């Protein structure tokens, strides 16, 4: 296969490495032409994945039309806030039969569109769309460490092509038709990871972390099922699996944001030090908006939103979460 990967952050780079590792020709696109030339010459992404060399079958380009030339599969991996802006160029260069695999995780602010809805608006009608989710840190994928993910599409042929583009070695790809469940699980777990990081940064212990993960899953499940997701998806790779990884793993950018806030640092300080996108910061706002629109109770999301966007002190956030009234667990 010819596999085009649009977006040369850590995740896009890791997916291009994986596609090339399993025998495909992978072309990685970076919007910065000069940076693309440096990566191609140095054979690694020194900015995001230093020390990990590119496979021979992988190339980097700053020209989207070159990346997409004769592509059998396109993997889109740009930040959620940048996705809409690249769609006109992507739509012009994209082969009409090539499935677009969305590796972006988020919910668009204000419109509250999921990423497949954003893609559906900007790409030609009937362009096959596939969503990618599941517990997967970019550095571990790029390093060839064991990983299991899930692809979701309403088009079984496109789902198969997406899986074939990445499956192999220690990287397993499962499939499902539950697009809504995979999308919302992938997006909302980032908000819960910030909450867990805050708790850990404040030194509240592992009991508190486990409670936040469990009740976070309940929040995600409530809104996902309201939108038509299969509840079993929430117990799988895109739900529980991705949530546990992002809330506990040291490579989690969203957890690191929470850790900094829990230790009393400002959001700006934490993000400046991180130097990469933490999708949960943006998603906290859109998730809060979604909860209001769908009339779904999401107390953890509400508190993370208040902390990030209303300057609510961390101590008050933790106090208000712990002080909520008693209720039945299932509900």
* Residues facing 61 on adjacent strands: 29
**Type and span of the H or E element at 75:** strand 73-76
Count of Cβ atoms closer than 10 Å to residue 145 Cβ: 13
3-state helix vs strand vs coil in the chain, percent to 5: 55, 15, 35
DSSP letter for each residue of 164-197? HHH-BTTEEEEEES-HHHHHHHHHHHHHHHHHHH
* Active-site pick, 189, 226, 263, 312: 189
Count of Cβ atoms closer than 10 Å to residue 63 Cβ: 14
Per-residue tokens: 245 = 């990884």
Is 263 catalytic? The answer is no
The answer to whether 227 touches 220, Cβ cutoff 8 Å, is no
Distance separating alpha carbons of residues 80 and 38, to the nearest angstrom = 25
Q: What are phi and psi of 175, to 5 degrees?
A: -135, 160
Distance separating alpha carbons of residues 11 and 216, to the nearest angstrom = 24
Residue with tokens 């039309």: 65
Count of Cβ atoms closer than 10 Å to residue 226 Cβ: 15
Residue among 74, 55, 65 at smallest CA distance from 6: 74
Q: In the chain, count of helices (H) and strands (E)? A: 15, 8
Residue with tokens 């939108």: 227
Q: What are phi and psi of 132, to 5 degrees?
A: -115, 130
User: Whats the size of the chain, residue-wise?
Assistant: 331
* DSSP three-state, residue 310: coil
Catalytic residues: 189
């Amino acid at each position: 296969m010819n596999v085009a990967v649009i977006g040369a952050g850590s995740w896009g780079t890791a997916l291009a490495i994986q596609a090339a590792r399993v025998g495909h020709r992978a072309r990685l696109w970076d919007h910065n032409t000069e940076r693309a030339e440096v990566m191609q010459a140095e054979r690694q992404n020194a900015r995001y994945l230093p020390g990990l060399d590119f496979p021979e079958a992988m190339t980097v380009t700053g020209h989207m039309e070159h990346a997409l030339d004769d592509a059998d599969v396109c993997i889109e991996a740009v930040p959620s806030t940048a996705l809409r802006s690249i769609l006109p160029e992507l739509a012009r260069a994209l082969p009409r039969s090539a499935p677009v695999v969305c590796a972006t995780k988020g919910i668009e602010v204000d419109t509250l569109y999921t990423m497949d809805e954003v893609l559906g608006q900007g790409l030609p009608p009937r362009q096959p769309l596939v969503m990618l989710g599941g517990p997967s840190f970019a550095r571990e994928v790029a390093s060839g460490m064991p990983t299991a993910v899930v692809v979701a599409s309403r088009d079984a042929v496109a789902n198969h092509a997406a899986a074939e583009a990445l499956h192999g070695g220690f990287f397993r790809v499962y499939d499902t038709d539950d697009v809504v469940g995979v999308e919302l699980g992938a997006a909302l777990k980032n908000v819960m990871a910030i909450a867990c990081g805050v708790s850990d940064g404040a030194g509240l212990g592992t009991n508190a972390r486990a409670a936040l993960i469990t009740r976070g899953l309940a929040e995600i499940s409530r809104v996902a099922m309201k939108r038509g997701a299969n509840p079993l998806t929430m117990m799988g790779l895109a739900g529980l699996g991705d949530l546990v990884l992002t809330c506990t793993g040291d490579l989690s950018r969203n957890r690191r944001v929470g850790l900094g806030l829990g230790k009393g640092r400002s959001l700006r300080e934490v993000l400046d030090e991180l130097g990469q996108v933490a999708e949960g910061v943006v998603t906290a706002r859109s998730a809060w908006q979604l909860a209001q629109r769908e009339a779904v109770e999401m107390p953890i999301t509400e508190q993370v939103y208040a902390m990030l966007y209303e300057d609510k002190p961390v101590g008050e956030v933790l106090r208000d979460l712990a002080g909520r009234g008693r209720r039945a667990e299932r509900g």
